[in-house]
């Protein structure tokens, strides 16, 4: 049963420190999404990639957040410097977008999340 994996599962850090979260999408999936979940804002899309290229990062605070896909098996989300308001659960999700002739595929599968606490 293929699953998206994320590390670390929990992270506690002090304000001002750099935080790096990692995601391994399901093998063969070509689309990766980063979401942030808080009680107040629900599930917010931060950024997403297709075939490792960033398609949309409009949901991400550009001054402190960055997202990359160094290769097809690894996506990273960095926060530098971190702030208390960044405390949340960060989910990665992956999906497979097929060429039109192969039929559309829209499903997204979530990883277990990284619970970040910034003190």
Partner 1 sequence: GENVEQHPSTLSVQEGDSAVIKCTYSDSASNYFPWYKQELGKRPQLIIDIRSNVGEKKDQRIAVTLNKTAKHFSLHITETQPEDSAVYFCAARHTGFQKLVFGTGTRLLVSP
Q: Does 48 bind partner 1 (CB under 8 A)?
A: yes
d(CA 5, CA 33): 13
d(CA 48, CA 58): 10
- What is residue 86's three-state secondary structure? helix
Q: Which one of the spans 19-27, 48-56, 62-70, 79-87 is the region binding partner 1 (CB under 8 A)? A: 48-56
Q: Which one of the spans 16-24, 40-48, 65-73, 74-82 is the region binding partner 1 (CB under 8 A)? A: 40-48
Residues 64-83 that bind partner 1 (CB under 8 A): none
Helix (H) / strand (E) containing 33: strand 31-38
- What is residue 76's three-state secondary structure? strand
User: 80 with 64: CB under 8 angstroms?
Assistant: yes
CB of 47 to partner 1, least distance (A): 10
CB of 104 to partner 1, least distance (A): 8
**Residue ranges in contact with partner 1 by CB under 8 A:** 31, 33, 42-43, 45, 48, 50, 55-56, 91, 95, 97, 104, 106-113
């Amino acid at each position: 049963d293929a699953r998206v994996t994320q590390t670390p599962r929990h992270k506690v850090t002090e304000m001002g420190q750099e935080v790096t979260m990692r995601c391994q999408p399901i093998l063969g999936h070509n689309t990766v999404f980063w979401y942030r979940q808080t009680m107040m804002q629900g599930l917010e899309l931060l950024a997403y990639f297709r075939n490792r290229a960033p398609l949309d990062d409009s949901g991400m605070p550009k001054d402190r957040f960055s997202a990359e896909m160094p290769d097809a098996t690894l996506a990273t989300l960095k926060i530098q410097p971190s702030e208390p308001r960044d405390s949340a659960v960060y989910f990665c999700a992956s999906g497979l977008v097929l060429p039109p002739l192969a039929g559309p595929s829209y499903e997204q599968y979530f990883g277990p999340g990284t619970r970040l606490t910034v003190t």
